[in-house]
Amino acid sequence: MSGVCGQLVLRSGKGCAPWTYGQHLCILLTKPGSRLPGRALFLTVHIGDGLSIKPLRCKGLKRFERLPGGRQALPDASAGRTVWQLMRYYAEIFGQEHAAMNAKIAFVAGDGQDAQDARAGLVARYGHVPEDRADVIVALGGDGFMLHTLHATEHLSAPVYGMNRGTVGFLMNEYARDNLPERLARAEEAVINPLRMTAVSRDGAVREALAINEVSILRAGPQAARLRVSVDGKMRMEELVCDGALLCTPAGSTAYNYSAHGPILPIGAEVLALTAMAAFRPRRWRGALLPKSAEVEVEVLDPVKRPVMADADSRSVRDVVRVGIRSEPGVRHRILFDPGHGLEERLIREQFI
């Protein structure tokens, strides 16, 4: 095998893109310089319990297109690769796609009737396993339910693929009952690290929560809040008088942050946005961009007369006197999107609406 494979080095245009046939990956190879179809070599890669590459010379077959059920699966990547290298390259990709096509799916849904009906139909069609045994979790609902699902499954390794059965659906894909395994196999993954909020209340209680979108510090009474802001232990703003302030991730920059006139952050940006809501003093302060590694502390200057609450993705703590916020690299939320509709594209598109 090595003698044959080692002598065949493909050049762009001389090989054929791989095809799938059943549970096999087939590659049609032609020796460089050869124009005779009779010199074609068929190689089959079988994906079973593990990766198994078995080159086979298929005598009597001159054109792979004659095989029923064949389809082109991947682009040509033969340039500069030996046959063996090409086989391993395609086999690894095909193995990943084959595994995704046979993935165990857990379906979860919001309380709305549309979401519940969608779940019932998908479970009947594709089956269902518990979330802790799933290869992928499909969430049906809106952005709020997607955030709930990500928080509820943050201890699991399975990625979450959302389909919109709610309203806005910024974190969701378009809903469709057909071809779900194929969509999952080709989905693009975005990884998000949440923010960790540590809030200290007037009674001395300390509460922690994670936020995928933002941590907000909001006035809880009729008067504006008076806040002092420190970054990495250094006081940066002696007094900020406002309705509130928030620190958001790139994924959350199009939510509350954008409504408060904060910047939209590219999904790959290693920065966080600190944005004020209705700032009174300094009147023209529009916020700041901070490195992802920054630790922000917000101190409430007059907590009795001007009470303040803290909120992390709708999990609230009232009567806070101090709030610490930092990125949490130990938690990784894996979100799947249809090709060409990932978070990066959505963030860019949102700026031109």
Digit-coded pLDDT (tens) for 293-343: 999 999 999 999 999 999 999 899 999 999 999 999 999 999 999 988 777
Q: How many CA atoms lie within 13 A of 31 on its CB side?
A: 10
Per-residue pLDDT at 66 exceeds 70: no
CA 104 to chain centre: 19
> How many other CB atoms sit within 10 Å of the CB of residue 181?
15
Q: How confident is the model at residue 85 (pLDDT cuts 50, 70, 90)?
A: low
- What single letter denotes the amino acid at residue 15? G
Which tokens hold the place of 222?
Answer: 């009729």
Q: In CATH, what number does 105-190+334-350 get?
A: 3.40.50.10330
Whether the model pTM is above 0.85: no
Catalytic residue among 143, 311, 313, 319: 143
Is 143 designated active site? yes
Give the SS3 label for residue 275: strand
Looking at the DSSP bridge assignments, the partners of residue 300 are 227
Which tokens hold the place of 288?
Answer: 């700041």
Q: How far is CA 118 from CA 3, 110, 114, 123, 210, in A?
A: 55, 10, 6, 9, 29
Class of domain 195-327: mainly beta
pLDDT tens, 163-188? 999 887 888 999 999 989 888 988 88
The torsion angle over the Cα atoms of residues 212, 217, 218 and 219, rounded to 10 degrees, is: 170
> How many other CB atoms sit within 10 Å of the CB of residue 53?
17
> Is omega for the bond preceding 159 within 30 degrees of 0, making it cis?
no
Please state the domain extents for the chain. Answer: 2-101, 105-190+334-350, 195-327
Give the SS3 label for residue 134: coil
Tell me the longest C-alpha to C-alpha distance in the chain.
89
Question: What is the DSSP-derived secondary structure letter of residue 38?
Answer: G
pLDDT tens, 219-239? 999 999 999 999 999 999 999
Q: Is 242 exposed, middle or buried (0-12, 13-18, 19+ CB in 10 A)?
A: buried
